[in-house]
Amino acid sequence: MADDLHELTLYVQSKKAVTTFYRPSPSPVPGFGPAPGVEGSVPATGTEYSTRGDESVYFLSDDQARCVAHAEEVASRRGYHVKVIDVERSGRVERLIAEHLRGVQTFPVLISPMGFRLEGAESFSDESLAELMPTELKSARAFSYLKVKGGDLDRIRTQLQTMAEVKEVHLLTGDWDLLVVLDFPPSSGSKRRVLDFVTERVRGIPEVIDTSTVVPEYSVTKFPIP
Per domain, the residue ranges of the chain are 4-14+60-133, 136-221
Query: Cα separation of 37 and 216, whole Å?
Result: 66
Task: Look at residue 51 in the predicted model and tell me its pLDDT.
Answer: 37
What is the domain class of 4-14+60-133 according to CATH?
Answer: alpha beta
DSSP line for 1-59: ---GGGEEEEEE--EEEEEEEEEE-SSPBTTB-PPTTSTT---SS---EEEEEEEEEEE
Q: Does the pLDDT value for residue 108 go beyond 60? A: yes
Helix (H, G, I), strand (E, B) or coil at 164: coil
- Please give the average per-residue pLDDT across 74-95, as a whole number: 85
Q: Does the pLDDT value for residue 38 go beyond 50? A: no
Task: Look at residue 96 in the predicted model and tell me its pLDDT.
Answer: 54
Task: Look at residue 48 in the predicted model and tell me its pLDDT.
Answer: 39
Closest by CA to 99, choosing from 81, 120, 115, is 115
The pTM of the full predicted model, rounded to 2 decimals, is 0.72
136-221 in CATH: which number?
3.30.70.920
Query: Cα separation of 175 and 163, whole Å?
Result: 24
Cβ-proximal residues to 156 (8 Å cutoff; 6+ apart), any chain: 148, 178, 205, 207, 208
pLDDT digits (tens, 9 = 90+) for 203-216: 999 999 999 999 99
pLDDT digits (tens, 9 = 90+) for 138-160: 888 999 999 999 878 889 999 99
**Percent of the chain, pLDDT > 90?**
58
Task: Look at residue 47 in the predicted model and tell me its pLDDT.
Answer: 37
Report the Cα–Cα distance between both ends of the chain, in Å, rounded: 24
Instruction: Tally DSSP H helices, then E strands, for the chain.
Output: 5, 12
